[in-house]
DNA sequence: TCTACGATCTTT
DNA sequence: AAGATCGTAGAT
């Protein structure tokens, strides 16, 4: 039975508690696959992510220490870090670990679960994988921009992260678009995707069972 | 101030 | 293959 005041969510799924996020970034990244992102009537299932593991990770925005842009990354886990890329695209990250760690997980692709009409409107009529495969596309479909910086995903209202079916098989591979990082960090298999999903961004080459 | 460029996407 | 488009970070 639902208690008074408890929110009814898509398919009865529950918001994840703060402690879900305050763990090792690679563990959280993997477990984010299959979880639901909800914003109003739009519900997406996460199909692809990348882990950015703090200032020692030369691919991470936190590599240069705390700045105005990356400030949300240094906060406690469970909040959003949204930044503008190439002057055009909003990138949604989920902050992980404890306050001061500077780690986050980039949401790279999702599949639609609910609100397809809204998604289609926001994506200019697109509804196949080209609508949600790619980090800029995910934020656009969810209706998220930088005003959602620091937004807590474990609280009711706005954007929420809900439980979802655990992934069956996971693919791993090197992260995309980080040629500025050291060669060893470029090679780290910190990109995770749901095996067999059509809703995975390019390039798909380099993803292997893991 | 000035400059270079980016965890990308769309169109040609 | 190249253009869009602008905030950020580091240099001046």
Nearest residue to nucleotide C8, by CA–C1' distance, is A69
- The helix (run of H) or strand (run of E) holding residue A20 is helix A18-21
Residue A1: C-alpha distances to residues A7, A10, A77, A164 (Å)? 12, 16, 30, 20
Q: How far apart are CA A195 and CA A175, in angstroms?
A: 16
Q: How far apart are CA A187 and CA A94, in angstroms?
A: 22
Whose C1' is closest to the CA of A73: which nucleotide? B7
pLDDT tens, per residue, chain A with 210 residues: 344 434 445 567 999 999 999 999 999 999 999 999 999 999 999 999 999 999 999 999 999 999 999 999 999 999 999 999 999 999 999 999 999 999 999 999 999 999 999 999 999 999 999 999 999 999 999 999 999 999 999 999 999 999 999 999 999 999 999 999 999 999 999 999 999 999 999 999 999 998
Query: Cβ of residue A178 near strand B, that is under 7 Å?
Result: yes
| Region for residue A150 given its phi and psi (left: phi exceeds 0; alpha: psi -120 to 50; beta: otherwise) | left
Q: How far apart are CA A81 and CA A71, in angstroms?
A: 8
| Protein-proximal nucleotides of chain C (any atom < 7 Å from a CB) | 4-10
């Amino acid at each position: 039975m639902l208690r008074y005041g408890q929110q009814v969510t898509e398919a009865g799924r529950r918001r994840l508690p703060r402690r879900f996020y305050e763990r090792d970034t690679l563990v959280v990244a993997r477990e984010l696959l299959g979880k639901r992102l909800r914003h109003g009537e739009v519900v997406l299932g996460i199909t692809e992510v990348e882990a950015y593991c703090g200032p020692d990770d030369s691919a991470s925005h936190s590599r240069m220490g705390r700045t105005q842009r990356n400030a949300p990354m240094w906060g406690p886990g469970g909040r959003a870090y949204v930044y503008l890329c190439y002057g055009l695209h909003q990138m949604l990250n989920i902050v992980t670990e404890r306050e001061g760690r500077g780690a986050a997980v980039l949401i790279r692709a999702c599949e639609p679960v609910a609100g397809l009409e809204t998604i289609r409107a926001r994506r200019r009529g697109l509804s196949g994988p080209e609508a949600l495969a790619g980090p800029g596309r995910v934020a656009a479909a969810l209706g998220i921009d930088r005003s959602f910086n620091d937004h807590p995903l474990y609280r009711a209202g706005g954007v929420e992260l809900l439980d979802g079916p655990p992934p069956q098989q996971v693919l791993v591979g090197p992260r995309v678009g980080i040629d500025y990082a050291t060669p060893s960090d470029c090679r780290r298999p910190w990109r995770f995707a749901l095996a067999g999903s059509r809703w995975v961004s390019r390039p798909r080459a380099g993803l292997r069972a893991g």
